[in-house]
Structure formats: structure tokens, C-alpha cells
Amino acid sequence: MKLKPMWMFVICCITPFILAYAAIQTNWLPNNTTNKGRLLSSDIQVPNWQADEHALWSIALSVPVDCGLVCTQQNQRLQNVYQALGKKQDKVSLVILGEAENNEITQYPALPELQAGWLYLVDHHGLVVLAYPYEESEQKSRVLHKGLLSDLKKLLNYARSS
């Protein structure tokens, strides 16, 4: 009679492990994510990073020497995204990775691993986390920047709650 409760206990403890193993082996778990940007697979650190003391995240524009019109368009779009942040602008800084004519934005050396004209989200330690490609089409670009704003707002809300 006393064996029945013990077996029930063992079954209750082992069942979650069996289900978890089955879920992993048969790919029951979804592979999709909620972020709109591309999560970088390798760690890319911005050298000599000195974050603004109030900024939790930075939006970085990669501007190599031969970028031209692409970077000019992205720089303007970067300003628009920053304006769209509204009251959360104080938690975000703008950064240019490379040489640019804009002296108002903090500049760091260009990183060869990053694509020209792409926007990147960089945390306050200088780690590049998410990438947003350049789109020539104004409509596609608008959708992409809405995704950037969405990701940034999620990250800022998460940082506030932790």
C-alpha cells in the first residue's frame, strides 16, 4: 500500500524530464523570435567604448570610407528613428562607426566585420547585439526602422524592470 504513493511521486518527478527531452529531440519548440533585427552570431566589441552615462543602448551606423550615398541616407534615417523615440531619447545615444562629416554624433573607428550602411544596436558595454540591413526602398526601410524602434523599446522596458 505504501508503494503506490512512492510510485506516483517518482512518475510526477520523471515525467517533466521525459517531456522536455522529447520536445527537444522532436523540435516541438518554436525556432522563431520576437526581435525584428538580426541577432549577431559572433561577439563584436567596439574598441575603446565609452558609453554615455545615461544611455543604456546605442544605435550605431557603420560608415566605412567608401560608403557614399547609402550612408548619407542612413544617417538621415537614423536621425528620424532617434526623434521617434520621444521621451526615451535620454536612454539611447547615436554612434557612428567610421569617419563621417557629422560632428554632433560620437564616432568610433570602423569595424571591418560590420556591413556598410547597416544600423546596429550596441549595449552600454560596447557589444554589438542586433543588426538592421540597409534597404533602398523607402517603404521597406520604414518597416525595418519600425522594427528597430520596437526592439529598442522592448530592450529599454526590460532594462527598466531588471
pLDDT in tens, 38-89: 888 888 999 888 877 788 899 998 887 777 777 778 888 888 888 999 898 8
User: C-alpha cell of 143?
Assistant: 518597416
pLDDT confidence tier of residue 129, bands split at 50, 70 and 90:
very high
Contact 105, 81 (CB under 8 A): no
Q: What is the pTM of this model?
A: 0.76
pLDDT in tens, 87-112: 988 899 988 888 877 667 888 888 88
Contact 90, 54 (CB under 8 A): yes
Task: Give the chain's domains with CATH numbers.
Answer: 38-161 (3.40.30)
Residue 162 has pLDDT above 50, yes or no: no
pLDDT-above-90 percentage for the chain = 18
Residue with cell 523570435: 33
Average pLDDT, the chain: 84
